Amino acid sequence: MMDIKVLKPILGANDQRAQENRSLLEKNRIVAVNFTASPGAGKTSLLLATIKALRDEFRIGVVEGDVSSAIDAETVAKEGIPVVQINTGGACHLDATMISNALESLPTEDLDVLLIENVGNLICPASFALGEHRNVLVASVPEGHDKPHKYPVMFSKSDAVVLNKIDLKPYIDFDQDKFTAAVQGLREKALIFPVSCKTGEGIDHWASWLRDQIRVEQSN
């Protein structure tokens, strides 16, 4: 009971801050997309591919979340994209207050889209809203087709699932039909985008969907 009593105020305060973030983003007509994944699934590679696909149409900013280091932020910064690195110091997720602080360091008046790379974890981020408009889960072929069964909450909260590293399918025992059935069993409307950030396969289809989502939100 003690854990429940403590957790409820924490999540309640986070939800309130998330709503404040959402209001600030919408005031500036910024669409925020939260990317979650296990370590090594290819979040940063997907972010870079997404930036390259959309940067001619939208002004993009990035928040990089990690337990430590600024490696991913430095990689993104090489693309000339404004980026803020958040080091959680051991925490397994970003929270709304972290995003609020990051927004203070970004040129919000000059952005259309905010891409958030959450900490590599498929458990904790499911409980902490950030103020995002869309949630995207990045999975990868080497992780296995049973991944949705192991992390049902995160998959059930995702608007889209990007299945990365499909170029490895010939070498790995991965059943894409079972993966698709598992994802849609948890969230029927979730779309699945098979891609390879290495070869570029599927990136155009994924980017087209995200482009449409951004435009829908901006028109509201």
Q: Quote the pLDDT of residue 4.
A: 45
| Fold annotation for 2-219 | Rossmann fold (3.40.50)
Tell how strand 83-87 and strand 31-37 pair up.
unpaired
Q: Quote the pLDDT of residue 155.
A: 97
Please provide residue 47's backbone torsions phi and psi, each rounded to the nearest 5 degrees: -60, -45
Q: Quote the pLDDT of residue 7.
A: 52
* Cβ-defined contacts of 201-208 (< 8 Å, 24+): 201/166, 201/167, 202/166, 203/49, 203/50, 203/53, 204/53, 206/50, 206/162, 207/49, 207/50, 207/53, 207/54
Contact yes or no for 206/162 (Cβ under 8 A)? yes
Contact yes or no for 35/139 (Cβ under 8 A)? no
Q: Quote the pLDDT of residue 91.
A: 84
Residue 48's nearest CA partner among 212, 218, 206 is 206
pLDDT in tens, the chain (220 residues): 344 444 566 678 999 999 999 999 999 999 999 999 999 999 999 999 999 999 999 999 999 998 877 888 999 999 999 999 999 887 899 999 999 999 999 999 999 999 999 999 999 999 999 999 999 999 999 999 999 999 999 999 999 999 999 999 999 999 999 999 999 999 988 899 999 999 999 999 999 999 999 999 998 8
Q: Quote the pLDDT of residue 148.
A: 97
- Judged on CB neighbours under 10 Å (0-12, 13-18, 19+), 135 is buried
Q: Quote the pLDDT of residue 169.
A: 96
